[in-house]
Amino acid sequence: MNIQDTLSSTEQKVDNSEKIKIYLCGVTVYDESHIGHARTIIVFDVLRKYLENKKKEVELIQNFTDVDDKIINRANDEGIPAHEISKRYIENYFRDFDELNIKRATNYPKATEHIEDIIEFIKKLIEKGIAYASENGVYFSVSKFPEYGKLSKKKIDELKSGSRIQVDETKKDPLDFAVWKFSDVEPTWESPWGKGRPGWHIECSVMSMKYLGGNFDIHGGGRDLIFPHHENEIAQSEAHSDGKFAKIWMHVGMVTIAGEKMSKSLGNTKSIKYVLENWGPNIIRLFCLSGHYSKVIDYSEEMLKENLTKWRQVETCYYELIHANNVEQENISEKIRNISTEFDKSLEDDLNTHLALSSFFELVKETNRLAASEKLGKENSIIIMKEFERISKILGLNIPKINQEEKEEIDSLISNREKLRGEKQFEDADKIRDQLNEMNIELMDHKGKTIWMKKEKIQKDC
RNA sequence: GGUACUCUGGCAGAACGGUUAUGCGUGAGCCUGCAAAGCUUAUACAAGGGGGUUCGACUCCCUCGGGUACCUCCA
Query: For residue A41, which nucleotide's C1' is closest to its Cα?
Result: B75
Instruction: Tell me the C-alpha distance between A309 and A31, whole Å.
Output: 32
pLDDT the model gives residue A94: 97
Is residue A30 located within the same domain as residue A169?
Answer: yes
Is residue A307 located within the same domain as residue A416?
Answer: no
Task: Report how far apart, in Å, the C-alpha atoms of A125 and of each of A182, A224, A235, A417 are.
Answer: 17, 26, 11, 76
Among positive and negative, which fits the CA dihedral A176, A178, A180, A181?
A: positive
Answer whether A40's CB lies under 8 Å from A51's CB: no
- On whether residue A111 sits in a domain, the answer given is yes
Is residue A207 located within the same domain as residue A260?
Answer: yes
Pick the closest to residue A21 from A187, A186, A246 (CA basis): A246
Instruction: Tell me the C-alpha distance between A170 and A203, whole Å.
Output: 23
Query: For residue A312, which nucleotide's C1' is closest to its Cα?
Result: B37
Query: For residue A358, which nucleotide's C1' is closest to its Cα?
Result: B22
- On whether residue A281 sits in a domain, the answer given is no
Q: Which residues have CB under 8 Å from A450's CB, separation 6+?
A: A414, A417, A418, A443, A444
Verify cis geometry, omega within 30 degrees of 0, for the bond prior to A174. no
- On whether residue A294 sits in a domain, the answer given is no
Instruction: Tell me the C-alpha distance between A98 and A153, whole Å.
Output: 36
CA of A380 to C1' of B35 (A): 29
Is residue A53 located within the same domain as residue A185?
Answer: yes
Strands A131-133 and A137-140: antiparallel
How many domains, chain A?
Answer: 3
Is residue A218 located within the same domain as residue A340?
Answer: no
- Taking the alpha carbons at both ends of chain A, their separation in whole angstroms is 41
What ipTM was reported for this prediction?
A: 0.93
Verify cis geometry, omega within 30 degrees of 0, for the bond prior to A228. yes
Query: For residue A368, which nucleotide's C1' is closest to its Cα?
Result: B38
CA of A267 to C1' of B70 (A): 19
- On whether residue A202 sits in a domain, the answer given is yes
CA of A317 to C1' of B29 (A): 23
CA atoms within 13 A on the CB side of A338: 6
- On whether residue A282 sits in a domain, the answer given is no
CA of A387 to C1' of B32 (A): 31
Among positive and negative, which fits the CA dihedral A207, A209, A212, A216?
A: positive
CA of A230 to C1' of B52 (A): 39
Instruction: Tell me the C-alpha distance between A364 and A392, whole Å.
Output: 11
Query: For residue A357, which nucleotide's C1' is closest to its Cα?
Result: B22
- On whether residue A175 sits in a domain, the answer given is yes
Pick the closest to residue A111 from A176, A197, A37 (CA basis): A197
CA of A221 to C1' of B51 (A): 39
Answer whether A336's CB lies under 8 Å from A383's CB: yes
CA of A412 to C1' of B28 (A): 38
Domain boundary among A347, A372, A395: A395
Instruction: Tell me the C-alpha distance between A64 and A203, whole Å.
Output: 10
Backbone angles phi, psi at A446, to 5 degrees: -105, 170
Is residue A305 located within the same domain as residue A172?
Answer: no
- On whether residue A290 sits in a domain, the answer given is no
Identity of the residue numbered A232: N
Is residue A410 located within the same domain as residue A390?
Answer: no
Q: Which domain holds residue A376?
A: 300-395
Protein residue minimizing CA–C1' distance to B72? A165
Protein residue minimizing CA–C1' distance to B22? A358
Radius of gyration, CA atoms only, chain A = 26
Output the tens digit of pLDDT for each of chain A's 462 residues.
999 999 988 889 998 888 999 999 999 999 999 999 999 999 999 999 999 999 999 999 999 999 999 999 999 999 999 999 999 999 999 999 999 999 999 999 999 999 999 999 999 999 999 999 999 999 999 999 999 999 998 888 777 655 555 556 778 888 899 999 999 998 999 999 999 999 999 999 999 999 999 899 999 999 999 999 999 999 999 999 999 999 999 999 999 998 888 887 788 899 999 999 999 999 999 999 999 999 999 999 999 999 999 999 999 999 999 999 999 888 899 999 999 999 999 999 999 999 999 999 999 999 999 999 899 999 999 999 999 999 999 999 999 888 899 999 999 999 999 999 989 999 999 999 999 999 999 999 888 788 999 999 999 886
| CATH code of residue A310 | 1.20.120.640
CA of A354 to C1' of B59 (A): 19
Query: For residue A320, which nucleotide's C1' is closest to its Cα?
Result: B38
Is residue A417 located within the same domain as residue A389?
Answer: no
Is residue A231 located within the same domain as residue A170?
Answer: yes
Answer whether A111's CB lies under 8 Å from A147's CB: no
CA of A296 to C1' of B25 (A): 22
CA of A457 to C1' of B72 (A): 43
Identity of the residue numbered A40: T
Query: For residue A174, which nucleotide's C1' is closest to its Cα?
Result: B72
Is residue A238 located within the same domain as residue A314?
Answer: no
DSSP letter, residue A41: H
Is residue A265 located within the same domain as residue A130?
Answer: yes
| CATH code of residue A194 | 3.40.50.620
Query: For residue A317, which nucleotide's C1' is closest to its Cα?
Result: B38
Is residue A362 located within the same domain as residue A434?
Answer: no
Nucleotides in chain B near protein beta carbons (<7 Å): 1-6, 11-16, 21-25, 31-40, 67-75
Look at chain A and count its residues: 462
Beta bridge partners of A12: A3
- On whether residue A280 sits in a domain, the answer given is no
Task: Report how far apart, in Å, the C-alpha atoms of A312 and of each of A318, A365, A380, A401, A450 are.
Answer: 10, 12, 21, 15, 18
